Amino acid sequence: MIKPELTILIVSDSNFKNLCDDPTSYVEKLYGILNNRYKVPIKIITVSGRYGLSAIDSNIETLDVEDRNKTLFTQTIENHAAVFDELQIISLSNIVDPFIEGVADTMSALQKNITRYSYKRK
């Protein structure tokens, strides 16, 4: 097995599955974009619960987090931040979510690359 050279954490809007026009196709397309962008093996991880993609992709590796408490949510990600090279955020541009912004602030403070993606709403 090839060891991944780049590990990417993906978080999404808490209601992405219900807000996105076609969440399954969107996630598949995002995986394709990420694989084409990086010419090295990548490992994609998401968070558990409502901010993750496991309800859309049951095969994705998941980091267990508490998604009812922002402090615990961001602290868990900060504790595992050394594992991640990048943060990918899937969010509507007009929605400001304190959980997502907390993760973005944490990863930014640790000088991790952050990319934000928007999506077509239903």
Question: 26: domain CATH number?
Answer: 3.40.50.1380
Sign of CA dihedral 84, 74, 105, 28: positive
Contact (Cβ atoms closer than 8 angstroms) between residue 73 and residue 49:
no
Residue 1 belongs to some domain of the structure: no
Per-residue model confidence as pLDDT tens for the chain (122 residues) = 556 689 999 999 999 999 999 999 999 999 999 999 988 899 999 999 999 999 999 999 999 999 999 999 999 999 999 999 999 999 987 778 999 999 999 999 999 999 999 999 98
Residue 103 belongs to some domain of the structure: yes
Domain count, the chain: 1
CA 70 to chain CA centroid, nearest Å: 16
Residue 53 belongs to some domain of the structure: yes
Residue 46 belongs to some domain of the structure: yes
Residue 13 belongs to some domain of the structure: yes
Residue 28 belongs to some domain of the structure: yes
Structural domain containing residue 13: 6-117
Single pTM value for the model: 0.93
pLDDT at position 2, please? 59
